[in-house]
Amino acid sequence: MSVAIATPISPVQQDMDLTSINTIRTLAMDGVQAANSGHPGTPMAMAPVAYCLWQQFLRFDPQDPVWPNRDRFVLSIGHASMLLYSLLHLTQVRAVSKDYETLGEVSVPMDAIKAFRQVDSRCPGHPEYRWTSGVETTTGPLGQGVATSVGMAIARQWLAARYNRPGFEDLFDFNVYALCGDGCMMEGISGEAASIAGHLRLSNLCWIYDNNHITIEGNTALAFTEDVATRFIGYGWNVTRVGDANDLNMLARAFHNFQSTNDRPTLIIVDSHIGYGAPHKQDTSGAHGEPLGEEEIRLAKRNYGWPEDKKFYVPDGVYDHFRQGIGKRGQQLRNAWFARIGEYRKQYPDLAEELFRMQHRQLPEGWDRDLPTFPTDPKGLATRESSAKVLNAVAKNIPWFIGGSADLAPSTKTRITLEGAGDFSAENYAGRNFHFGIREHAMGAILNGMSLVKVRPFGSGFFIFVDYMREPLRLSALMELPVIYVFTHDSIGVGEDGPTHQPIEQLAHMRAMPGLIMIRPGDANEVTEAWRVILQLHHEPAVLVLTRQALPTIDRTKYAPASGLARGAYVLADAHGGDPEVILIGTGSEVALCLEAYEQLSKEGVRARVVSMPSWELFDDQDKELP
């Protein structure tokens, strides 16, 4: 099959727009071909869209890709990673060290593009946050990127409500753009995320939908016929269309339309041709996920008016063109922002200090001064109850500690009850209590997005429903984000709800997930210690697993102090008169049972030891530090 190219392209590249777009396209094609693996078709089709956005609109400084008020660009179609890598390369985005200092090196040098998908390349198969500067979030599992973008947009609204002040109305005014495809639209999480974004009227959020009618198995007619525009209108979004992905004027109009919409998020539906310009593969699923092949690449390059045999070719003037566009605009905006923040610091020193600490993932001085100690109490209280007290003590001293629940706050006890904490809503973006609705999956991704903007988010639900949000949890771990998940009703102690609500294998699941710290405290004082550890994590998500039912508050004058929790496991009660004959190891609600058994055994003359082991991961970590 041969496909005519809609707009004949002159063999001479007359304009820098087209030259730049074709550079993005051909880098993607060559990168995938060299790797002999990857997804060339969508970068080829969406190059003009990404180019128009980056070159004309995105407020992003390639010299400082972590400037806090930069616009965010999320590539929700993570498989089209070569599109992003080409942009990062051509705009010469700088690498950032983990201490947030911008280094001189280019984040994605040409050698990295040539080593696409190879071990250790800055261009892995799917974009990875923290590995490649300029990548705003890890994507690949379809739907996660768009949902994460909602969290970013939410966090921006919260930051603006708290920190923008008279004369500084634009301190936080960044926009969030996410590029998505048919896969993202089919995944349920996009529906959850779009629904809450519309409800919250996030006018700083723009999704761009690549409506190419192609997925892996073929035409979307196989499985997807819904009217996406109507669906989003139903969510309360502003919906606009661009009938041809190559039409830069229409694209610019759509972005202007987004920018002038102040009461709703915007969806731009762009009709595109996957594999644009490849004569035998355009508009087929064959262009989706495999190299085009040398001959097809040659023909596509001919169609573009490109030198057919040149590989990884960046024509003269392209780098400079980007420098003069996004580079110049971004640098001016970034420098102006930092000049203003100097002024802001003079007028609002406390707020400026908060911002500094938050953006560096530090805690305020004395953040833990109100953490409670609980008196011995044989009847005790549920760990969800003690956690509520600790959570509020934390919230008092960390203003950017914010979060909520998937409609279960009355049960998970995660409401911030401090005076003035308020509820986050379209009418009050300063609220600290979030209502994610019954949308666990989106909640997970939204928390990731919020954390990427550097507020300290928590989300809560019943432990059993962690199964609805395993993917975003996994991404928190992969991205090393200190998101806090509070899960209650952690065992058979859930009571009358029955087997659908009883977690059985969930503890094992959480422990098996790399990079995640799970803590299941055994009494109220271990809850305090758990929060103390969690708040000081910088690079790991934490899962706090709590009970519905009351647990005795252990007598710490008789047994070891709860501070042992920081080591993951500690000897709570030891054998007398020789080595233990039996060691009882418990977590959470089982610790008190172990202590009862210990007392019984001691009476019977059996030497027993009780180990409370609230966190396998913390235990493993401290082992490494032992001499």
Ligand X SMILES: Cc1ncc(C[n+]2csc(CCOP(=O)(O)OP(=O)(O)O)c2C)c(N)n1
Which residues are catalytically annotated?
Answer: 440
Q: Which stretch binds Mg ion (CB under 5 A): 110-118, 185-193, 204-212, 418-426?
A: 204-212
Under the binding rule (CB under 5 A), the answer on residue 143 touching Mg ion is: no
- Please, which residue, 143 or 503, has the CB nearer to ligand X? 143
Instruction: Please identify the residue of the shown chain whose CB is closest to the bound Mg ion.
Output: 182
**Which of Mg ion, ligand X, none binds 50 (CB below 5-8 Å, type-dependent)?**
none
- Binding residue (CB under 5 A) for Mg ion from 64, 71, 182, 192: 182
**Which of ligand X, Mg ion, none binds 77 (CB below 5-8 Å, type-dependent)?**
ligand X
Q: Which stretch binds Mg ion (CB under 5 A): 181-189, 410-418, 561-569, 602-610?
A: 181-189
Which is nearest to 451 in space by CA: 348, 511, 537? 537
- Binding residue (CB under 5 A) for Mg ion from 212, 272, 506, 589: 212
- In the complex, the smallest distance separating the C-beta of residue 182 from ligand X, rounded to whole angstroms, is 3
Binding-site residue total for Mg ion (CB under 5 A)? 4
**Which of Mg ion, ligand X, none binds 517 (CB below 5-8 Å, type-dependent)?**
none
For 212-321, where are the E strands, in sequence order? 214-215, 218-219, 238-242, 266-271
CB neighbour burial string for 143-162, b if at least 16 within 10 angstroms, e if fewer:
bbbbbbbbbbbbbbbbbbeb
Which is nearest to 29 in space by CA: 280, 312, 322, 281? 312
- In the complex, the smallest distance separating the C-beta of residue 181 from ligand X, rounded to whole angstroms, is 3
**Which of ligand X, Mg ion, none binds 216 (CB below 5-8 Å, type-dependent)?**
ligand X
Q: How far is CA 285 from the centre of its chain?
A: 29
The encoded tokens of residue 267 equal 């969806």
Cα–Cα distances in angstroms (integers) from residue 73 to residues 40, 128, 155, 621, in the given order: 20, 13, 15, 35
Q: Which residues bind ligand X (CB under 6 A)?
A: 42, 77, 79-80, 140-142, 181-184, 187, 210, 212, 214-216, 274, 288
- Please, which residue, 142 or 318, has the CB nearer to ligand X? 142
Under the binding rule (CB under 5 A), the answer on residue 214 touching Mg ion is: yes
Which string of DSSP letters, residue by residue, matches 378-409?
A: EEEEEHHHHHHHHHHHHHHH-TTEEEEESS-H
Pairing of strands 238-242, 608-612: unpaired
- Please, which residue, 37 or 259, has the CB nearer to ligand X? 37
- Please, which residue, 209 or 559, has the CB nearer to Mg ion? 209
The encoded tokens of residue 63 equal 């010299």
The encoded tokens of residue 151 equal 């969290």
**Which of Mg ion, ligand X, none binds 141 (CB below 5-8 Å, type-dependent)?**
ligand X
Q: Which stretch binds Mg ion (CB under 5 A): 128-136, 214-222, 454-462, 610-618?
A: 214-222
Sign of the Cα pseudo-torsion (188, 192, 198, 204, in order): negative
Amino acid at 262: N
- Please, which residue, 390 or 446, has the CB nearer to ligand X? 446
Under the binding rule (CB under 5 A), the answer on residue 286 touching Mg ion is: no
- In the complex, the smallest distance separating the C-beta of residue 449 from ligand X, rounded to whole angstroms, is 17
- Please, which residue, 157 or 215, has the CB nearer to ligand X? 215
Place of tokens 């252990």: 554
**Which of ligand X, Mg ion, none binds 27 (CB below 5-8 Å, type-dependent)?**
none
Which string of DSSP letters, residue by residue, matches 426-476?
A: TTBTT-SEEE--S-HHHHHHHHHHHHHTT-EEEEEEEGGGGGGGHHHHHHH
Pairing of strands 517-519, 542-545: parallel
- Please, which residue, 214 or 358, has the CB nearer to ligand X? 214
- How many of the other CB atoms lie within 10 Å of CB of 558? 10
- Binding residue (CB under 5 A) for Mg ion from 145, 181, 449, 580: 181
Distance of alpha carbon 328 from alpha carbon 320, whole angstroms: 10
Contact set with Mg ion (CB under 5 A)? 181-182, 212, 214
